[in-house]
Amino acid sequence: MIFKVLPKNGLEALFDVLSNNRIIGPVEKARGKNGKILYGFDRICRFENLRLDYTTTTHSPKKFFLPYKEVLSTFILSGRTWQKSVDYNAHQPHVFFGMHACDINALNKLDKVMIESVYPNPYYAAKRRNTFIVGIDCTPQPQCFCRSMNADTVLHGFDMFLTDIGEDYFVEIQTAVAYEILKSVITKEPSAHDHALFMKTVDAKKEKYSCQVDTTDLTKILDMEFQAEVWRDWGNKCLSCGTCANVCPTCYCFGVQESVDLDLQGAVKKMHLYSCNLFDFAEVAGGHNFRPKSHTRLKYRFYHKHRGFVEAFEEPLCVGCGRCGAACLADITVPEVIASVRKEAQGNG
């Protein structure tokens, strides 16, 4: 990895260089009930609107890669035959200015399913490959348990990553494109002092986590406690609304629907993101539902993320961003659910 140091007053210059493209970044969206600022990723045209000091965004940047609704294909119908056309819906590159490590890690996890798999998803791949990511370090929030999920730092999947070391940004350069772009702004080589400042920032961040999850032997615990009563308790709280999946940076379940145009000349096939907590998620034709109870669906979500995915990829499908817990209308949080199941296994349930 190549490192540079970018003086803070050079940030706008970097933004300007990148602004030949469509820039997506954290912006202030609204104020919550308690007056807290709510942030979101959106298109940014002016540097002043960029809020690199954002805590976390309510929604993850997932929607730019896996839109909530997307046209997969369109058909022209003529008599008994038809023609299908496919568009991957990636019409221009996106520059993400200011993505936290957890969200980049989330994309890396999605890559495993969407790209590095038997049938790569071209809709996702087209958008992911045409993305330039500038990462930014963050301050752990009360709901963040990314450190427990090994997602507090990110090793790949971005172009450059900025860490605030006081007067400057410490820049990790991951790609050649990023290196070329940095040539047009003023940077300097990092000194031993800069390295020390970087390490100091990293160490200080470690101290700021207030939330954690013990994942030791979690896959086994989940298997042992599959029938545990505690799942029913969580199921009784859960509203099966799917909000957790909506805000989750790694949830990718979807459904496909087709419809015929009103003039009967064409048809369209659309995907829409779904949630395994919604009632009919595992319903099959004929009406049989494999997970009819609320707790079976909630449990499945945890099994997919913290057992099944670990079995397949040796890492959980969770980056510990805490968005699901923050957004949950029933106040169900991942650390609490996992702790309760662990307690059950220890015989203290």
Partner 1 sequence: MDKPIPFNDIISGGMGSLPGEDLAGFEYSYLAEITNIYPLTNTDKLYQVQLCDPELRRSFSFKPGQFVMLELPGIGEAPFSISSSPIRHGDIELCIRAIGNLTKFLDRVKRGTQVGISGPFGTSFPVEIMEGSDIFLLAGGLGIVPLRAPLFNILESRSRYGHVDLIYGANTPEKLLFTYQYDAWRKFDIDLQITVDEPDEDWEGHVGLITGILEKKLAGRKSLAHNAYAIVCGPPVMFKFVCNILTEAGLPMQRMFVSLERRMHCGRGKCCRCNIGSTYICLKGPVFDYWSVMNLKEAI
Within residues 87-106, the interface with partner 1 by CB under 8 A covers: 88, 90, 92-93, 95
Cα–Cα distance measured from residue 218 to residue 310, given in angstroms and rounded to the nearest whole number = 10
Q: Are strands 266-273 and 69-78 parallel, antiparallel or unpaired?
A: antiparallel
Choice from 121, 246, 277, 294 touching partner 1 (CB under 8 A): 121
The span of 25-33, 75-83, 96-104, 191-199 binding partner 1 (CB under 8 A) equals 75-83
Measured from the CB atom, the residue of 130 and 153 that comes closer to partner 1 is 130
Choice from 130, 139, 201, 212 touching partner 1 (CB under 8 A): 130
Number of Cβ within a 10 Å radius of residue 308: 16
Rg, the chain, Cα only: 22
Residue 220 Cβ vs partner 1, minimum distance, rounded to whole Å: 13
Residue 326 binds partner 1 (CB under 8 A): no
Residue 253 binds partner 1 (CB under 8 A): yes
The binding track of 198-237 with respect to partner 1, each residue x by CB under 8 A or -, is -------------------------x--x-----------
Size of the site for partner 1 (CB under 8 A): 76
Choice from 34, 285, 347, 348 touching partner 1 (CB under 8 A): 285
Cα–Cα distance measured from residue 255 to residue 315, given in angstroms and rounded to the nearest whole number = 25
Within residues 149-188, the interface with partner 1 by CB under 8 A covers: 177, 180-181, 183-184
The binding track of 9-48 with respect to partner 1, each residue x by CB under 8 A or -, is --------xx-xx---------------------------
Measured from the CB atom, the residue of 39 and 302 that comes closer to partner 1 is 302
Token pair listed for 190: 């990092």
H/E stretch holding 36 reads none
Rounded to a whole number of angstroms, the distance between the first and last alpha carbons of the chain is: 47
Cα–Cα distance measured from residue 160 to residue 182, given in angstroms and rounded to the nearest whole number = 9
Residue 279 Cβ vs partner 1, minimum distance, rounded to whole Å: 13
Query: Shortest CA distance to 334 belongs to which of 302, 297, 296?
Result: 302
Residue 330 binds partner 1 (CB under 8 A): no
Measured from the CB atom, the residue of 15 and 198 that comes closer to partner 1 is 15
DSSP symbols for 193-231: HHHHHHHHHHHHHHHT-------TTHHHHHHHTTT-HHH
Residue 224 Cβ vs partner 1, minimum distance, rounded to whole Å: 11
Choice from 28, 36, 73, 224 touching partner 1 (CB under 8 A): 73
Cα–Cα distance measured from residue 105 to residue 319, given in angstroms and rounded to the nearest whole number = 7
Q: Where are the beta strands (DSSP E) in the chain?
A: 2-7, 22-31, 37-43, 69-78, 81-86, 94-99, 131-136, 160-164, 168-173, 254-260, 266-273
Residue 67 Cβ vs partner 1, minimum distance, rounded to whole Å: 14
Choice from 256, 292, 329, 330 touching partner 1 (CB under 8 A): 256
Residue 9 Cβ vs partner 1, minimum distance, rounded to whole Å: 18
